[in-house]
Amino acid sequence: METFNKKLKAILLLIGIVALTIPTFATIYEDAEDNATTGWISYGNTTNSSIENVEDMQRGSRVIKLTGNGKETGYRLGNRVGRASYVGAWHNKTEKILKWSMKYEEPFRIYIPITTEHGNRFLVYTNQSESKKGKIRGGKVRYGLGTDSTGGAWHTFKRDLEADWNAFMPSDPFVAVNGFFIKGSGYIDDIMSLDGNVSNWRICGGDTNGSTIENIFDLEIGDIVTQLTGNGVATLFCYNLGNRREKILQWTMKYNEPFRILIPIRTENGNRYLIYNNQSVDTQGKIRGGKIYYGLGEDSIDGTWHTFTRDLEADLKAYEPNNSFSSVNGFTIRGSGYMYNILSLDDNILNWTICGGDTNGSTIENIFDLERGSIVTQLIGNGMATLFCYNLGNKVEKKLQWSMKYDEDFKIYVLILTEQGYRYLVYDNESTDKRGKIRGGKIYYGLGEDSIDGTWHTFTRDLEADLNAFEFNNSIISVNKFSIRGSGRVDDIFLGSLFPF
Q: How far, rounded to the nearest angstrom, does the alpha carbon of residue 48 sit from its chain's CA centroid? A: 35
**Hey, how many other C-beta atoms are within 10 angstroms of the C-beta on 333?**
27
> In whole angstroms, how far apart are CA 64 and each of 29, 343, 470?
12, 29, 39
Between CA 398 and CA 221 the distance in angstroms is 39
Residue 350: its pLDDT value, please?
A: 60
Cα separation of 410 and 421, whole Å?
26
Question: How many angstroms separate the CA atoms of 177 and 285, rounded?
Answer: 51
414, 481 contact by CB (below 8 A): yes
Q: Residue 202's beta-bridge partner residues?
A: 238
pLDDT confidence of residue 203? 92
- 26-194 against 201-345: fold identical: yes
Q: Structure pTM?
A: 0.47
Q: 156: closest CA among 166, 164, 165, 146?
A: 146
pLDDT the model gives residue 289: 76
Write the CB contacts of 10 (distance below 8 Å, at least 6 apart in sequence).
none
Instruction: Read off the pLDDT band of 4 (50, 70, 90).
Output: very low
For the cut 80, the answer to whether the pLDDT of residue 410 exceeds it is: yes
For 220-244, what is the mean pLDDT?
A: 86
Asked if 484 and 410 touch (Cβ cutoff 8 Å), the reply is yes
d(CA 444, CA 469) in angstroms, rounded, equals: 11
pLDDT value at residue 396: 78
| pLDDT value of residue 22 | 37
Instruction: Give the β-pairing of 140-144 and 119-126.
Output: parallel
Question: How would you classify residue 152: left for phi > 0, otherwise alpha for psi between -120 and 50, otherwise beta?
Answer: left
Please name the helix (run of DSSP H) or strand (run of DSSP E) that holds residue 474, with its range, or none: none
Res. 244 pLDDT band, cuts 50 70 90: confident
Q: What is the pLDDT of residue 279?
A: 95
Among residues 336, 482, 332, 361, the alpha carbon closest in space to that of 412 is found at 482
Specify the pLDDT at position 23: 40
Please spell the DSSP secondary structure of 368-408, one letter per residue. Answer: EETTTTEEEEEEE-SGGGEEEEEEEEEE---EEEEEEE-SS
Q: Distance (Å, rounded) from C-alpha 494 to C-alpha 402?
A: 6
- Give the pLDDT score at 349: 60
Mean pLDDT of all residues in 305-320: 90
Write the pLDDT tens digit of every residue in 31-81: 888 889 999 999 999 999 999 999 988 787 899 999 999 999 999 999 988
Task: Enumerate the domain spans of the chain.
Answer: 26-194, 201-345, 349-496
Out of 13-17, 102-106, 244-248, 318-322, pick the least confident.
Answer: 13-17
Q: Model confidence at 137, in pLDDT bands (50, 70, 90)?
A: confident
Class level of CATH domain 201-345: mainly beta
Contacts of residue 60, defined as CB under 8 A and 6 or more positions apart, other chains included, come to 6, 8, 9, 401, 403, 458, 492, 494
Inter-residue contact 429 to 447 (CB < 8 Å): yes
Cβ-Cβ contacts under 8 Å for 265 (sequence gap 6 or more): 271, 272, 273, 274, 312, 316, 325, 326, 327, 328, 329
pLDDT at 224: 75
- Amino acid found at 207: D
pLDDT at residue 144 tops 90: yes
Tell me the HSE value of 309 on the side-chain side, using a 13 A CA sphere.
18
Please identify, in words, the CATH class of the domain defined by 26-194: mainly beta
Question: Is residue 499 predicted with pLDDT exceeding 70?
Answer: no
Tens digits of residue pLDDT in 89-107: 999 887 888 999 999 999 9
Contacts of 338 (CB under 8 A, 6+ apart): 218, 225, 226, 227, 228, 253, 254, 255, 305
Contact (CB, 8 A) for 489 and 370 = no
When pLDDT is averaged across residues 114-140 and rounded to a whole number, the result is 89
Residue 212 neighbours by CB distance under 10 Å? 12
> 391: how many CB neighbours lie within 10 A of its CB?
16
Using 50, 70 and 90 to split pLDDT, how confident is the model at 108? very high
CATH code of domain 349-496:
2.60.120
Give residue 346's pLDDT band: very low, low, confident or very high (50, 70, 90).
low
Closest CA to 390 of 374, 372, 402: 402
> What are the φ and ψ backbone dihedral angles of 19, each rounded to 5 degrees?
-85, 135
Higher pLDDT, 397 or 233: 233
Rounded CA-CA distance 59/65 in Å is: 13
Q: pLDDT (tens digit, 9 = 90+) per residue, 449-471? A: 999 999 999 999 999 999 999 99
- Answer for the pair 226, 219: CB distance below 8 angstroms, yes or no: no
Residue 447 has a pLDDT of: 96
Among the ranges given (97-111, 239-253, 375-389, 414-428), the one the predictor scored with the smallest mean pLDDT: 239-253
